[in-house]
Structure 1
């Protein structure tokens, strides 16, 4: 959590506004690893981002030739070097640097991009030079075997098949978080200024892989381009996420190994065993999709997110691990409901019946439950649940988001007004952000700092709701040019969330939980319409047990939102959320 209340508000403000971002981390790493270390020590520091992620994971970013140089010359000492004093004709010299987005550079020639800066060099002895050159020859045969897999795949595809594949690949990376893929010495990403995959907003602009390749036959693509399209397509076909390869090498053989590991994981959960070693990569992708559907019947899948390189890792828990009984209701929420509404919690069979009863009471007797502290009765209930989660899970900030008028939302979908739905303004959504009492106390007297932080978070999360909206509509009914992300289905915990996103940096969101929930809208489940998010500015990362508890709190919020929609529709009454605008935050922060 944020520093204890005995610390001065000046220290707290400094923490919030001066948190080191990713660029500072990279600059520090460059300066600290220029001289005095052996190659293996420097590479460990580089790939772990100075201890911020596991070395074992970071080493997966190295190309096969880089791994060979590390294995052979890891004990060789570094010497300082810059682009000005490098000698590219020297076969024994390998240059060490790092790209601005965090990828290591290790090559016997200098980088051509200004986004990569060399700061050291390692000199190989003659025997090491010969072994590296032999490894390059040996790797060519491995590359040939991978090329054969890809060539055989493309040979079976017609021109129409390739266009369909392109759409699948495009969809797989255009509607998700950033991807950062390494194929040998090449990087393919849609992140920030380094984007070379696809243009923003669904536009087809030259200089982006998925635009440039459309007009070329596969035989005109480079090896790395073929690998990228082939692998992304099969990842999507397997119902996996491309972000699982962020910060790692991605080739057909690496993908095959990954698919084998995922099949073993899923089969272990299902207590199932299949001989799949003879399956083609495409058949493994199809089998993985089948397995994942079976896994989700008894388990839910969640992820851990590395904010340094956007890498996401799947984790699993049984659905029975969640205790959604009314007996597990937090004491504060239970007492609030009983004291405010005179409803005895224990007499209800489940939380849906309980919260339906509370929302029904608010709808039937609005005069009894007047607004307090600029919040309506339903808004107060949302606040109570979120702040209870903030307290129990030792968080600094909590929030929940949703469309403001769920009755109108449901009616628009029932009438299939998809173009109008996609055209809804961001003001038709809200995000209710609540700082912990400690954060509020520490920052409330420091000018408008609390408002700036809270409203920045609310604005970003409100935009997210707007950005997810087309994902609830048939794809063919989404207006051209209306960009969107797929609504989230999986919960996640995240670390180092304050390294890239400007809003997260200002709020110093080091650790977070995102727990989305779906609502039944006209008999169809819409995933990710609402959610609960929790943030910590320092301390320990959220663990799996805390995520499970956050999911239980999310179930309380989902039940409240579902009841608001259902009862508003049944009674044709207004249960919309009016608060949490910019003016509201100014008045209440």
Structure 2
């Protein structure tokens, strides 16, 4: 922090540090604090006259400092600085002098927090002890370790210790260098487990039960405490009930039974008018689930027809004046594209990245999302040859799935004024790096739809994304995000938990495709942008429904997505958006050759 940011009241300096200068919402940032620091900041707020001093004063004092991970501490000035690993360092912000009365007030506040924590921990301990008494604890421990291994990033604080499986931090489970925190519990009798060990296993087990891998990341970069665990589960249950969910979660249920009831709530979201989504903070990987009480975009009802009328008229037809319902019309358009591809009719529309009618439609949908959200670029990824999953013989299916490699997946990339903004060479680097990274990610996600015993231990994989998310400052720690200038982003996976899963040969898939948009600078996306992107994902759902239904039909010919090779992409020129929706179908109008719109294609 700057010298100016370290001046002022103890409360103001602390809040500036805690919220990273105001970019991290205080309600979320507060959850990072350890109990001693939380107690100190609570007392600072009660005493606005307390000032931060640059030099240590005589007598009793607290020192404010931030560690390498960005965590704020307010601790006794004569105590050693908290260190999270051998490379950690502390940056002092200043000192806060304390009177005996202030010291006592902070102590009383910390005692209150600690008493609440111990009461909550007793509930967690009782639940884990019951697992032990029933002989289930070894199995649960192995499940927790396995779940951790297959979530993209897990990282949380337990008091003044930091546990993670991400990038350079890998101390939750075994790696090549050392034994992991959870792994060591295999050899430790339950009676000898410390409170943090009981909490970590009980909390991770309850979180996974309540919402699969999505829940693990709720505590990323924050304090995993028993009190916050119970409070968060209660908040989630209440939010689902408030949205109209018919499953009630009784507070009388045991910890894991409550978590299971919350999971049932999440499964009742299909076809409902509310939508789960996650807010992601890129500086510490925190992912907080919230609920939108509506799932309809704020765009005009006929925005689909404004964008796709000409495609519909050309590919489907229909009587003059006929306007199809949105999703029925998109389903017809997708089926027409698949039918043309199955008949071998060459596609002469779309960019040089496109080789088929289905690919053209995918590119149009991604371009629509980019323009609708004023994004710099967008993308969509999936499997090139879906027929590899169409086998009703389990051994054949598993062999085909495990044989897949990242090049078996594709990424459609569409940008807006990217070349003008960063130059041809840099635009090509961004497009190619994004495409390859998304292929790699999709390769990781595809096995996560199978039952765990079906996946080979040698296969590295992650659970697929289940709900839309909106991310801020996503370029801070991810090298790939930094290279691709991913400052703000939205990801809308398909099908998400508000929709039925995609059926393929008797199995069901989520996160099989997606629509994503990115801003490299400027303003963050907001929730209205999530709904606009999700609307395009619902349109994309028709494409994959048409594809899979055709490929599972008798005498279907093999259809493979051969376009969207890394380095080929579409760069749209101009905003193309106006109040109420898109003013023009950019790609189609330009390719009709009437010169009314501008489009550049690079590949």
The TM-score with structure 1 as length reference comes to 0.83
Residue 565 of structure 2: aligned partner: 581
Residue 457 of structure 1 corresponds to which residue in structure 2?
A: 434
SS in 1 for 2:182: helix
The question of whether the paired residues in 2 share the 8 Å contact of 1:403 and 1:429 is answered with yes
Instruction: Measure the CA separation in 1 of the matches of 2:475 and 2:510.
Output: 26
Q: Does 2:189 match 1:217? A: yes
Q: Post-superposition shift, 1:320?
A: 6.9
Instruction: Please say if residues 236 and 242 of structure 1, whose CA atoms lie closer than 8 Å, have aligned partners that are also in contact.
Output: yes
Q: Which residue of 1 aligns with 2:539?
A: 556
In the alignment, the residues of structure 1 paired with residue 389 and residue 23 of structure 2 have an alpha-carbon distance, to the nearest angstrom, of 43
Rounded Cα–Cα distance in structure 1 between residues aligned with 2:550 and 2:300: 22
**Structure with the largest fraction of helix:** 1
CA distance in 1, matches of 2:333, 2:346: 21
Contact kept, 8 Å, 1:418 with 1:473, in 2: the verdict is no
Cα RMSD between the aligned structures? 3.3
Tell me how far apart the structure 2 counterparts of residues 163 and 324 of structure 1 sit (CA, whole Å): 52
Name 1:6's counterpart in structure 2.
none
> For this pair of structures, how many residues does the alignment match?
548
SS where residue 329 of structure 1 aligns?
A: helix
CA displacement at 1:313 relative to structure 2: 2.4
Farther-moved stretch of structure 1 (407-416 vs 48-57)? 407-416
- 1:543/1:343 CA distance change after superposition, 3 Å: farther
Distance, in Å, in 2 between the alignment partners of 1:149 and 1:61 is 22
In the alignment, what sits opposite 1:538? 521
Deviations 1:374-414 (A, max 9, x none): 52123222222211221122111011111111123324876
Q: What is the alpha-carbon distance in structure 2 between the residues aligned to residue 496 and residue 370 of structure 1?
A: 36
**Alignment of structure 1 residues 479-518 onto 2, 5 Å:** 479-518=456-495
Quote how far apart the aligned CAs of 1:128 are.
Answer: 2.3
Q: Which moved more, 1:314-323 or 1:223-232?
A: 314-323
Using a 3 Å threshold, how does the CA distance of structure 1 residues 39 and 567 change in structure 2: closer, same or farther?
same
| Corresponding position of 1:237 | 209
Q: Alignment partner of 2:461: what SS?
A: coil
Deviation of residue 300 (structure 1)? Answer: 3.6
SS of the residue aligned with 1:346?
A: coil
In 2, the alpha carbon distance for the partners of 1:368 and 1:179 equals 44
Structure 1 residue aligned with 2:363, among 368, 379, 383? 383
Answer whether contact 1:371 1:377 (CA < 8 A) is retained.
Answer: no
The corresponding residue for 2:333 is 354
Shift of 1:363: 2.1
Contact persistence 1:99–1:115 (CA under 8 A): yes
> CA contact under 8 A between 1:105 and 1:116: conserved in structure 2?
no
**Does the 8 Å CA contact 1:399/1:533 hold for their aligned counterparts?**
yes
Tell me which residue corresponds to 2:99: 125
For 1:468-487, list aligned pairs within 5 A: 468-487=445-464
User: Cα gap change, 1:210/1:235 in structure 2, threshold over 3 Å: closer, same or farther?
Assistant: same
On the 8 A contact 1:324/1:552 being kept in 2, the answer is no
**Distance in 2 (alpha carbons) for counterparts of 1:55 and 1:507:** 29
* 1:304-356 alpha-carbon deviations (Å, 9 max, x no partner): 22222222222334687379999552523332343467577835744223311
**Conservation of the 8 A alpha-carbon contact between 1:422 and 1:469:** no
Q: Shift of the alpha carbon at 1:483? A: 1.9
Normalised TM-score (structure 2): 0.82
Asked if residue 270 in structure 1 is aligned to residue 244 in structure 2, the reply is yes
How many Å separate the matches in 2 of 1:311 and 1:257?
17
Unaligned runs of 5+ in 2: 496-501, 571-600
- Structure 2 match to 1:208: 180
2: CA distance between counterparts of 1:327 and 1:453?
A: 33
